[in-house]
Amino acid sequence: MSLDGLSRRHFATLAGGAALGLSAAPVHPADAGRSEVRAAAENSLAGFPADFRWGTATSAYQIEGAINEDGRGPAIWDRFAHTPGTIIDNSNADVADDHYRLYRDDVQLMKALGATTYRFSIAWPRVFPDGSGTPNPKGLDFYDRLIDELLANGIEPFATLYHWDLPQALQDRFGGWMSRDTAKAFADYAAYVAERLTDRVSHIFTINECSRLVHLGHGLGIDAPGLKLPQAELNQVRHNVALGHGLSVQAIRARGRPGTKVGPAENLVVCIPAIDTPANVRAAEIATRELNGGYLTVILEGQYIDGFLAQAGKDAPKYTAEDLRIISSPIDFLGLNIYKPDHYVLAADNERGFTLAPFPASFPHMDADWLRFGPEAMYWAPRHAAKLWGVRSIYITENGTSSVDEPAADGNVYDLDRVMYLRNYLQQLQRATSQGVPVAGYFLWSLIDNFEWADGYQKRFGIYRVDFKTQRRTPKLSASFYREVIKQNSVV
């Protein structure tokens, strides 16, 4: 199938692929003939669309604590974090940010930023302590309170159903995502949440970062449940997770209020033209489609493309045509977590049509080796999604960086590197929206420092610093920066 000819039927709200304002060359028509510098300056002045949504993001396990409160069952991350040798600083998230008790204060932090939305996740083991069966009567009470508090403060709640805290019971019963039964249990949980919360929550994300939960959790053993499966089993896990996404989309449609909007939040493999020529742009599009073959491409196209199947070979997953129909159930928006560039791409006269340039050792990165500094990722990722798959509504569901964040002598945290990172990434986002790429909102990761998975509390991603001994929250310089961006609806 040709790239341009890709079906757009996978978007529920799609109006026949109307003009996206995108052309093969990444230039706004109004900019034609002007210098790059001048065009960039004018785009900056244009700011973001008037109805652009600004928010922050968090996840349940990373901030809530209260793991034994109100009937919550154990999650795979509880078991994993309590296994010696898994978390770099031997910490766990038993208390984390104590957000379960301090959520009102945290809503005030959002309000102080002027944020209009908030992306949080719901802990499945609070709702179904045993993974499935009878829901815990108190399971959603906390989220009811949180949602009411957000709405009372003029902040729109966007909920994620799964941010990796699988009920341990499902892992014990049938190997968690190794079984299709987990995908079915996920749909039941999604249906229950949709029934209870969509009177006040109109946007739901299904699964956060399918690819990381599969590869770090089941391939590399770095995340819970800490498995190192062989390739064929890993591919089956991947397929089951994608199936869980599709089944939950259907469940939300069936049981949520009409008009509830639903989509995934995926950390796609970001492919950037190494040098911005039409041929390299095309090559980066081809690479995007192929290298996301196991996740976004199958969700948006309903097929495992040849490049993906060829690479999987004898380890390809087992699936039916019906599975593919479910996985590609129409979605209303695409959530993209964007932190870094994954590949710089050059056009090539080979079978794939592209080559991936190797990263030089000197390529700049933030306070983690994996966190490469490549702001243009924020431009190309949504642009490719809009161009390749006709996506009409995109949310940047996460973007941010860790920083060393030591308080200065005056007690303030001058996180200049985070401000620099955010400014540059947001400028690229503004470049995208100025050209008509349909990005509807941005969620900064993260509101507060939190439990950064296997990095424990060693990596701080918050724009508010948290003293984990006292639970005191202090705004960093980046909080002031973000407040200003929201106020101006622009970044210069």
Q: How far is the CB of 398 from ligand BGP (least distance, A)?
A: 6
Q: Which two tokens stand for residue 316?
A: 């390809």
How are beta strands 203-208 and 261-266 bridged, if at all? parallel
Is residue 59 part of the contact set for ligand BGP (CB under 6 A)?
yes
Which of 418, 239, 200 is closest to 318 using CA atoms?
239
* Cβ-based neighbours of 490, under 8 Å, separated by 6 or more: 44, 45, 46, 47, 48, 430
Which C-beta is closer to ligand BGP: that of 425 or that of 445? 445
The one among 171, 236, 248, 267 contacting ligand BGP by CB under 6 A: 267
Is residue 401 part of the contact set for ligand BGP (CB under 6 A)?
no
Stretch that binds ligand BGP, among 16-24, 84-92, 175-183, 208-216 (CB under 6 A): 208-216
The one among 208, 235, 329, 434 contacting ligand BGP by CB under 6 A: 208
Is residue 266 part of the contact set for ligand BGP (CB under 6 A)?
no
Is residue 132 part of the contact set for ligand BGP (CB under 6 A)?
no
Q: How far is the CB of 342 from ligand BGP (least distance, A)?
A: 9
Is residue 212 part of the contact set for ligand BGP (CB under 6 A)?
yes
The residues that bridge with 266 in the sheet, in sequence order, are 336
Q: How far is the CB of 424 from ligand BGP (least distance, A)?
A: 18
What positions carry a catalytic annotation?
209, 398
Q: Is the peptide bond before 225 cis (omega within 30 degrees of 0)?
A: yes
Is residue 209 part of the contact set for ligand BGP (CB under 6 A)?
yes
Place of tokens 């990796």: 164
Which C-beta is closer to ligand BGP: that of 243 or that of 371? 371
Q: In what order do the strands lie in the sheet with 271-273?
A: 271-273, 343-347, 354-357
Long-range contacts of 16-19 (CB under 8 A, 24+ apart): 17/390, 19/436
Q: How far is the CB of 402 from ligand BGP (least distance, A)?
A: 9
Q: How far is the CB of 462 from ligand BGP (least distance, A)?
A: 10
Which C-beta is closer to ligand BGP: that of 280 or that of 337? 337
* Cβ-based neighbours of 361, under 8 Å, separated by 6 or more: none
Q: Rounded to whole angstroms, how far apart are CA atoms 304 and 296?
A: 10
Q: How far is the CB of 381 from ligand BGP (least distance, A)?
A: 12
Q: How far is the CB of 135 from ligand BGP (least distance, A)?
A: 25
The residues that bridge with 465 in the sheet, in sequence order, are 474
Q: Rounded to whole angstroms, how far apart are CA atoms 3 and 333?
A: 20
The one among 198, 337, 428, 435 contacting ligand BGP by CB under 6 A: 337
The one among 77, 103, 189, 339 contacting ligand BGP by CB under 6 A: 339
The site that binds ligand BGP (CB under 6 A) totals a number of residues, namely: 12
Is residue 373 part of the contact set for ligand BGP (CB under 6 A)?
no
Which C-beta is closer to ligand BGP: that of 74 or that of 400? 400
Is residue 342 part of the contact set for ligand BGP (CB under 6 A)?
no
Is residue 215 part of the contact set for ligand BGP (CB under 6 A)?
no
Say how far residue 57 (Cα) sits from the centre of its chain.
9
Q: Is the peptide bond before 7 cis (omega within 30 degrees of 0)?
A: no
Considering only residues 406 to 465 of the shown chain, the ones binding ligand BGP according to CB under 6 A are: 445, 452-453
Which C-beta is closer to ligand BGP: that of 84 or that of 370? 370
Is residue 329 part of the contact set for ligand BGP (CB under 6 A)?
no
Stretch that binds ligand BGP, among 7-15, 132-140, 205-213, 272-280 (CB under 6 A): 205-213
Which of 289, 271, 276 is closest to 27 using CA atoms?
276
Is residue 257 part of the contact set for ligand BGP (CB under 6 A)?
no
Which C-beta is closer to ligand BGP: that of 209 or that of 323? 209
Considering only residues 145 to 164 of the shown chain, the ones binding ligand BGP according to CB under 6 A are: none
Q: How far is the CB of 340 from ligand BGP (least distance, A)?
A: 7
SS3 61: helix
Q: Check: CB of residue 445 under 8 Å from CB of residue 399.
A: yes
Is residue 285 part of the contact set for ligand BGP (CB under 6 A)?
no
Q: How far is the CB of 221 from ligand BGP (least distance, A)?
A: 15
Q: Rounded to whole angstroms, how far apart are CA atoms 138 and 460?
A: 31
Q: Rounded to whole angstroms, how far apart are CA atoms 240 and 302?
A: 14
Which of 59, 89, 58, 52 is closest to 75 using CA atoms?
59
Is residue 398 part of the contact set for ligand BGP (CB under 6 A)?
yes
DSSP secondary structure letters along 170-214: HHHHH-GGGSHHHHHHHHHHHHHHHHHHTTT--EEEEEE-HHHHH
SS3 474: strand
Residue type at 339 in one-letter notation: Y
Binding site for ligand BGP (CB under 6 A): 59, 62, 208-209, 212, 267, 337, 339, 398, 445, 452-453
